[in-house]
Amino acid sequence: MSRSPAFPLSADGGRTSGSLLAGFLSSDLPRSKVLTVILLAILLALAATPFLFSGSLPLSTAAKICVFIVLVASYDLLLGYTGIVSFAHTMFFGIGGYGVAITLERFGATWISIATGLFVALFLSALLAIAIGLLSLRVRAIFFSMITLAVASAMAVLASQLSTITGGEDGLSFQLPVELRPAFRLLPEPVLGVAINGRLIAYYLLFFVALLMFLLLLRIVNSPFGRVLQAIRENEFRAEALGYRVVAYRTMASVVSALAATVAGALMALWLRYNGPDTTLSFSIMIDILLMVVIGGMGTMYGSVIGATLFLLAQSYLQVLMDAGSKTLAGIPVLPNLIHPDRWLLWLGALFVISVYAFPGGIVGRLRQAEQ
Amino acid sequence: MTGTTVEPSAPSEPLPRTRTDWLPLLLVPALALLALPLVGSGSTWATLTVAGLAMGMMIFLMASGLTLVFGLMDIINFGHGVFISLGAYASLLVLGPLAGWAQSDSVWLNLALLLFCILAAMGVTGTVGAVFERIIVRPVYGSHLKQILVTMGGLIVAEQAIHAIWGASPIPIPLPATLRGALIIGDVVMERYRLVAVGIGLVVFVGMQLLLNRTRIGLLIRAGVENPEMVEALGYRIRRLFVSVFVAGSALAGLGGVMWAFYRQTLTAGMGMEVMVLVFIVIIIGGLGSVGGCFVGSVLVALVANYVGFIEPKLALISNILVMALVLIWRPQGLFPVARR
């Protein structure tokens, strides 16, 4: 872009430059002490999970959090920064997963398979995102939501029907390259009591790719391109009048976000050594992503970190709490049903609605507000 | 408006509009005729066509409320699907006490049962719709982004509430005795229930058209779509009109839900959301806010799905998307673009 928009943008507030950290974070600092502490805690906990907790469940949860941070952050690029609602984000997530799964299953467990699968998946995602964008964003943004919903559901049906390629409802299980298998030992001796095996390498691969993707997305939203997206979100007509081609920018945003979701899908498949409709393609994951973005905070990348972490922890631990509550209330009609562990989504849904009304900035917005 | 041929209307036209855009209307018979040689056998074609029409009517029943609400209020309700589910579950209120009627051999008793189910469903969804409008939708008038988010939230909560009230497992609901099975005329097979669905769909469509175009309320609604401030300035309470249209839209979803539930013969809380994909495709094809477009779109999508499913089953999975893409390439705003929007 040759010039910056002529009007001030909200996210421009805390620009500081100079330090190395600010450079890493694209000068978009958390701008709240509490938020900074929480983010650092999450970062450290994720980085040290294999050494802090034993057993496979904490490690799986941590890996899932890493993947979902990328997925949710890329969705926030669309929803929070560009102001368009897509329901096809899981489709791109699924394409990433299937890309890697299909090549690893067909062409053997090599790094080349992973690269090929990822590359083909990225290409396909970009193509689809452009097609959807041009078909629907020309007219009005609201078409985009409905059309993405339709295309995503058609894609889910296709994935379950083309069972010779995708494994249908059963999905695909596959082997990883030797270096990522649990039996592989990088060091003969355990470090701090933890064996340095392929599983650990896979986790750190996930962790660093996720971190890199997150910083990249942070860079994108703070670039001149990202500023134009925010301008479009705030006032579409004004942005157009200033000479920015709204359709082109929105389509670009949806492509970037689709590519990031594809990478997240590939990471998910690599971690699970499996990909199927339920792990990457289902509509319930789409709803989860929406909840994470809105509760964490739309329009800030840090919101996705908070949202994904909170949601996935709640998924594991809120249900235990609700189970206890449900048992103590047994005997009263309907009430135990409402806090039955399977109904945890009811409460998160209510929190979601309240968030949209009362705290449009989500948790991050709330924390920043409290600071001022 | 698009620059296609616009002809003055004659009194005998099926759609009592002042100006009728003929091209999209001709699309349906043209499609049916085109499919005839491809299908081959005439009786198979007739069977497919009747089945497709019935399917189209059911989709129309579910979609009409949504497009009406959008047309008047510029509200896009992603939670519409839950009213479909809720309507279906509400029919249990009638099916429980009147279980004997379902087993009866009398067609009239069976149809009366269906009617009571529909009335119960419309009552429940209309009431819930009024509450939904007040709590969920009213604070976000004017912002599409927030509407989508908030109504999705409402959908999640309401779906979970259905689980909490009626349980999470699917509930079977059998069709009333005389509505099961098929009528066979010559070689043409027509399921009885589908014929009932065609009847109800036509009644609702004609009723809506008459209400919108021939009554004072309809006049006010159409005026409200064009210019709400002016209607308000003339002394009408536009807010009350909006709420009643939202309630009517929800009740229509409930009606569609009952029909859809009897067709599927099982109840699940997610059934509404599953069919929402089709509903959105249909209202996009028809043009957001156009009831007539919604009708044509429903029939078009259902017929194409049926024909393609017969001729090339593999393609049927994406036939809806293909129809939508083709229509949008032809008319980016849908078949009947609603003026001003």
Q: Which residues of B touch A153 (CB under 8 A)?
A: 277
What average pLDDT score do residues A245-274 get? Answer: 93
Structural domains of chain A ordered from first start: 28-371 (1.10.3470)
- Asked if residue B7 has pLDDT above 60, the reply is no
Asked, for residue B132, whether it belongs to a domain, the answer is yes
Beta bridge partners of residue A173, listed in sequence order? A274
Which ipTM did the prediction report? 0.78
Nearest to A150 among B136, B321, B329 (CB): B321
Q: Which of residues 82-121 of A touch B (CB under 8 A)?
A: 83-85
What average pLDDT score do residues A340-369 get? Answer: 81
Q: Which residues of B touch A141 (CB under 8 A)?
A: 144
- Residue A162: band (very low, low, confident or very high) from pLDDT cuts 50, 70, 90: confident
pLDDT of residue B274: 83
The total number of structural domains in chain B stands at 1
Residue with tokens 């949008």: B328
Count of beta carbons in the 10 Å neighbourhood of residue A55: 7
What average pLDDT score do residues B45-62 get? Answer: 88
| Single-letter residue type at B241 | L
The parent domain of residue B254 ranges over 19-330
Comparing A258-272, A331-345, B22-36, B292-306, which segment has the lowest mean pLDDT? A331-345
Please tell me the distance from the alpha carbon of residue B257 to that of residue B197, in angstroms, as a whole number.
12
Asked, for residue B41, whether it belongs to a domain, the answer is yes
Please tell me the distance from the alpha carbon of residue B289 to that of residue B224, in angstroms, as a whole number.
13
Asked, for residue B217, whether it belongs to a domain, the answer is yes
What average pLDDT score do residues A344-367 get? Answer: 83
Between the CA of residue B249 and those of A184, B151, B204, B261, B290, what are the distances in Å? 61, 15, 12, 18, 13
pLDDT of residue A127: 94
Asked, for residue B181, whether it belongs to a domain, the answer is yes
pLDDT of residue A89: 92
List phi, psi (to 5°) of B285.
-60, -45
Asked, for residue B263, whether it belongs to a domain, the answer is yes
State the count of interchain CB pairs (< 8 A) between A and B.
102
CATH of residue B318's domain is 1.10.3470
Count of beta carbons in the 10 Å neighbourhood of residue B213: 15
Nearest to B284 among A147, A337, A356 (CB): A147
pLDDT of residue A17: 47
List phi, psi (to 5°) of B339.
-55, 150
Contact B165 A337 (CB under 8 A): yes
pLDDT of residue A314: 82
Asked, for residue B7, whether it belongs to a domain, the answer is no
- Asked if residue B67 has pLDDT above 60, the reply is yes
Cβ–Cβ < 8 Å for B231, B223: yes
Asked, for residue B339, whether it belongs to a domain, the answer is no
Please tell me the distance from the alpha carbon of residue B335 to that of residue B292, in angstroms, as a whole number.
9
Asked, for residue B12, whether it belongs to a domain, the answer is no
Count of beta carbons in the 10 Å neighbourhood of residue A108: 12
Please tell me the distance from the alpha carbon of residue A291 to that of residue A311, in angstroms, as a whole number.
8
